[in-house]
Amino acid sequence: MSLDYKREIAEQVSDYIDEAVELAKELIEIPTVNPPGDEYEECASFLVSRAREYGLETLTIRVPEEQLPSLTLWGSTLPRVNVLARWGAGDGPKINVHCHYDVVPPGKGWSVEPFKGVIREGRLYGRGASDMKGALAASLVVAKALKDLKIKPWGHLILSFTPDEETGGRAGAEFLLTNGYLKPDMTIIPEPSEVYNIWNAHKGAVWMEVILHGKAAHASRPKEGINAFYAMIHVASTLMKNREKLESITSAYRSIWGAEKPTINIGGICSSGGAVNVVPERARFTIDRRLIPEESMEEVEDELRKVIEDSAKEINVDVEVRTLLRAEASSTPKNAFICGVLSRNVEMVLGKPPTFTLCPGVLDMRHFVRAGIDCVSYGPGLMKTAHAIDEYINIEDISTYMKVLALTVYDVLAQFSPY
Ligand SMILES: [Zn+2]
């Protein structure tokens, strides 16, 4: 593998930038909003036809209808369609680039149309531009470019395009992995990590719902009832006092977004009672607890339950605790093969080695790590604009990513090549 040859590949791949941006625009124009999971069928068939045009083999995998209620949190009557696209030959390594095509709802206050794909001053604007349709388009066009360049692969590049990442990924990444559709040797997820940075770890999350049961009474005789709202305040205050303890825990992973501490968010959803003149008999609130990789999800969950139950017992109120989401933190060691190859190519393209950091959000990475696959997240999007109003991606970053990805795929598939 001569360096000159690699420079030539990078050079040639950068000629495909306009095609990648155009494809990203077309994808932004399909509003695959999740929740609930709109336009998945349309987006999946568009991806299949484009991948076939590029000369890739494709496979469409629909989640069976009867499994949808257990694998989705919202929109369980809507189809969940996964797409695999493959390029390569022989029995060499399988490198997977895993992309989700769902996007979060746009929200209000945009200065451009969220589903138009507007180009302005070197940026592509639109919902999903950074997270992660820009990266998805770039990855697909890289596969085309490698094929056009007539590079002889030994092994396969497998692109996976999945729905539902924004709501847990159970009908997407997890479905493909647990049912044996996807068995790569290594995976890159081009989430918006920013082009100079690789996420080799991410935080986990436990979501809980706490329901306090009191006793209704007329508001003119409050002593005859048990006010569930007061009980909620008591339990929530106890949790808030415990919050300070989290400040004393720090992850050994490096973070550039202050992600090294565990956090708790209380009351994201909260409700109580139904009438001004009634003592509320029921009150509920949610908890979003974020874990660093060093914490055990079971221990965190047990501890929260204990604090809540003890606190409710102090005031003799019945409490119900439900876990809504369990997403473990996960990581891939920095000395894994994929980390080395990716890091070398980032350095080659940008002139300096990337940082390896802990992602503050939950990633599909955990499904891969659980399946024993080395997985990192590296992509061109910007963390600060993902999920935000006026989301955008820098076109230059898409170009950087395309070069890094092409060289990484080349290195992996050329590694054991008999040619
Ligand atoms: Zn994402």
Tell me the average confidence (pLDDT) per consecutive run of 10 residues in the chain, 419 residues long: 84 97 98 96 98 98 95 90 96 96 96 97 98 98 94 94 91 96 98 97 96 96 97 97 88 86 94 96 97 94 97 97 93 96 98 96 95 98 94 98 97 76
Residues 332/374, Cβ–Cβ less than 8 Å:
yes
Ligand 1 midpoint to CA 208 (Å): 22
Ligand 1 midpoint to CA 297 (Å): 22
Q: Tell me the residues surrounding ligand 1 (ion) with CB < 5 Å.
A: 131-132, 191
CA distance 212 to 196: 47
For 29-150, where are the alpha helices, taking DSSP H only? 40-53, 68-71, 134-148
Ligand 1 midpoint to CA 230 (Å): 39
Residues 413/154, Cβ–Cβ less than 8 Å:
yes
Ligand 1 midpoint to CA 102 (Å): 8
Say which residue the tokens 């568009």 belong to: 46
**Residue 137 has what pLDDT?**
98
Ligand 1 midpoint to CA 150 (Å): 31
Ligand 1 midpoint to CA 318 (Å): 39
Ligand 1 midpoint to CA 190 (Å): 8
Ligand 1 midpoint to CA 415 (Å): 30
Ligand 1 midpoint to CA 282 (Å): 36
**Residue 169 has what pLDDT?**
85
CA distance 168 to 152: 37
Ligand 1 midpoint to CA 363 (Å): 8
3-state secondary structure (DSSP) of residue 288: strand
Residues 356/367, Cβ–Cβ less than 8 Å:
no
Nearest one of 224, 141, 149 to 190, comparing CA atoms: 141
Ligand 1 midpoint to CA 122 (Å): 22
**Residue 1 has what pLDDT?**
56
Ligand 1 midpoint to CA 292 (Å): 19
Ligand 1 midpoint to CA 104 (Å): 9
3-state secondary structure (DSSP) of residue 81: strand
Domains and CATH numbers, the chain: 3-202+329-415 (3.40.630.10), 204-327 (3.30.70.360)
CB atoms within 10 A of CB 77: 10
Ligand 1 midpoint to CA 143 (Å): 21
**Residue 416 has what pLDDT?**
65
Q: What share of the chain is helix, strand, coil (3-state, %, to 5)?
A: 35, 25, 40
Q: In what order do the strands lie in the sheet with 118-120?
A: 118-120, 123-125, 392-394
Structure tokens at 98: 């895993």
Whole-angstrom CA distances from 51 to 23, 148, 240 are 11, 13, 50
CA distance 78 to 60: 16
Ligand 1 midpoint to CA 331 (Å): 17
Ligand 1 midpoint to CA 21 (Å): 18
CB atoms within 10 A of CB 89: 11
Ligand 1 midpoint to CA 298 (Å): 26
Nearest one of 155, 267, 134 to 207, comparing CA atoms: 267
CA distance 302 to 308: 10
Ligand 1 midpoint to CA 131 (Å): 5
Q: In what order do the strands lie in the sheet with 318-327?
A: 263-272, 282-291, 204-213, 318-327
CA distance 333 to 328: 16
Ligand 1 midpoint to CA 366 (Å): 13
Ligand 1 midpoint to CA 32 (Å): 13
